Chains A and B, each alone.
Chain A
């Protein structure tokens, strides 16, 4: 163990001990913090994130006669059942299975959307999106630009479950948002729970640019909220400040937001400080104003994501923050991320930027 961590080994040893003490392998590394504020007035229903996504697609199919939903096994709902019941309701012409061919699914969706239909494609796991990488990068993202605005595939939304799930191993756990954040012309969005999933997905579907909607798969069933029944959208390109404070700014997206909310609570109880907690929500384009205003106020910033550190999206945030907030910073911008290693089967609890690691980074930042 001594060779494993060159500094601050005490924390790591404690973590290893905590994990080893658990009789069962950890299946989740966070506490879910439900949203209590309703984005719109009116009737609500208790939904988990899977149901909220189902509801968003249901509303779309109901109100948009050109909308179609397709992907591997979506006819019976897909592996996570997000499309459950939609084929029975809207027919096989509008909700259908594709062969197992991600490149084909993406290309087909681009053509469909370019021709004017609302295309909602599901890639079964974000880890499987890479065969479709060329289509998304070279076709979807560039078609408006390279056709001089004659064509676009803004009506395309690609949904893909991403992130750690407790036991996914190498090919069912990755968070590929940074790969796509490098491509002008795309929108990349990650919800943190049922309410944001419904509102942001409806925005993505109606947005006039192609959107990649990465759904943290561990939240499908574990996250439950009172979700407005009616149709509503949430703005793309906008971050949300979930907690307010003056000591530091904590930035995350997806599942990691909940880790940071707990870290903020721990910091308040243990360190007596309050932090801004920001859910970035939109990875591309991202909300520079909200982030930089917060960091200018607090002077300290911790960014956390599950994807590996090197060239993770935190790198872009950190670079922009130091550029925009340089004279306000009291400490270097800190990143807490997955290791620069393939996502390991047996080591998931050690791989993730859990609350202890984030709290340690926050403490270091505060004492810099």
Chain B
């Protein structure tokens, strides 16, 4: 990401010249966009126990437009690279791709402030990057290499960054943690809001309802975000959930339904949530209706419980990147050349990170017994052969 910023800055610098007077607009092959901002109507939100919802018109500057486009593109690219690395058997084990759902994370991140925090489930590669980890940090973790955000010790699902309390591999387990993180925001008065994300499958886990209750009881600044991609593993939402109005399932917690394929809808809704939660009104439930193109994980072809036509139709009519791209172009917030330039830069960064993910070293075997405890009272870790313990070492920084 950091590598990408200068390029965007350069693009924008070029753009800013044209913004005011827009002399370039008169030439037929304009390389840079001509409009500085545009407004967009957002598909109506559905509200539960709320009198007023998020703004239904979103204003987008060309600067933000390029940034959002780049983030969408980089996540899609990371997931394509992950899928390929998995097929090459370089990523082993479990791998859950986010392709199709990018607008949720990118839109939310655009509205979030530095003090806000996120916790999500196992579809976490994109979020990890948006929260500050480099592309290489994500891909190297997936291949179990030292540059990985968890030094390769976690692998897929176990990704972390500042204010990003992780991917979590146990369905629904992160939701109560989110309530806990939110309590910390409230208690310390740092003004932050926690976004606890889960899927439509996890929406049926009991602990989610325990978390709802505590959050409302104590009016915690937490937004329970249900990323509804239609399928909990291989079971469609209609066959798993008695009520598929996930935004209303907090009962006594107000909720919002959002078109999760529209990055601007996600951004505006998140802005509203932050305003709501920081005003002391307590938690919200936000349902993001979205779609995943891949199977649940890499071992699921994703076609035994839905048709290929269905996936194809979403790709053609609702793809979060294609639709956003069309918006930018038709409103002249960006030119095809600008977007192409971003695409090629993104490709370069992800390709470079992919290369590193294949060649980077693994951590030494001494780390098998590292960081199990803060301090090991008995400095030795038992196991395998009697009387041949491993030495407990501290590698990661202690808080």
Contacts and interface: CB of A to CB of B under 8 A. Distances in A.
B199 to A, nearest CB: 8
A242 interface: no
B157 A171 contact: yes
Interface string A58-95: 00000000000000110110010000000000000000
Interface string A19-49: 0000011000000000000000000000000
Contact of A4 (B89, B158, B171, B390): B390
Interface residues of A, number: 58
Interface in A165-194: 166-172
Most chain B CB neighbours (cut-off 10 Å) among A332, A335, A346, A350: A346
A355 to B, nearest CB: 12
Interface in A132-177: 166-172
Q: Please report whether the interface of chain A is mostly helix, strand, loop or mixed according to DSSP.
A: loop
Interface of B: 89, 92-94, 144, 152-158, 169-173, 201-202, 204-207, 232-235, 239-241, 299-300, 304-305, 362-369, 372, 380-391, 393
A172 B173 CA distance: 15
B388 A169 contact: no
Nearest to A172: B94
Contacts of A271: none
B385 A336 contact: yes
Contact of B299 (A79, A128, A360): A79
A104 B208 CA distance: 13
A8 interface: yes
A364 B388 CA distance: 12
A65 B383 CA distance: 47
Interface string A322-363: 000000000010111111111011110011010001001100
Contacts of B173: 131
A339 B173 CA distance: 25
A341 B383 contact: yes
Contacts of A97: 234-235, 239-240
Nearest to B152: A346
Interface in A273-325: 308-310
Nearest to B202: A100
Given A101-B205, A345-B144, A25 B92 contact: yes
A7 B201 contact: no
B372 A340 contact: yes
Given A341-B372, A350-B368, A99 B381 contact: no
Contact of B369 (A130, A310, A339, A361): A339
Contacts of B390: 4-5, 339, 341
Given A25-B89, A101-B204, 9 more contacts: A4-B365, A99-B201, A100-B204, A127-B170, A128-B170, A131-B170, A346-B363, A350-B368, A357-B385
The 4 closest A-B pairs by CB, nearest first: A339-B383, A167-B92, A99-B204, A345-B155
A115 interface: no
Given A1-B365, A169-B93, A347-B368, A100 B171 contact: yes
Given A99-B240, A100-B232, A361 B382 contact: no
Most chain A CB neighbours (cut-off 10 Å) among B207, B372, B382: B382
A172 B365 contact: no
A75 B235 contact: yes
A203 interface: no
B206 A344 contact: no
Contacts of A4: 365-366, 368-369, 390-391
Contacts of A350: 365, 368
B382 A339 contact: yes
A265 interface: no
B386 A361 contact: yes
Contacts of A6: 380, 388-389, 391
A310 B154 contact: no
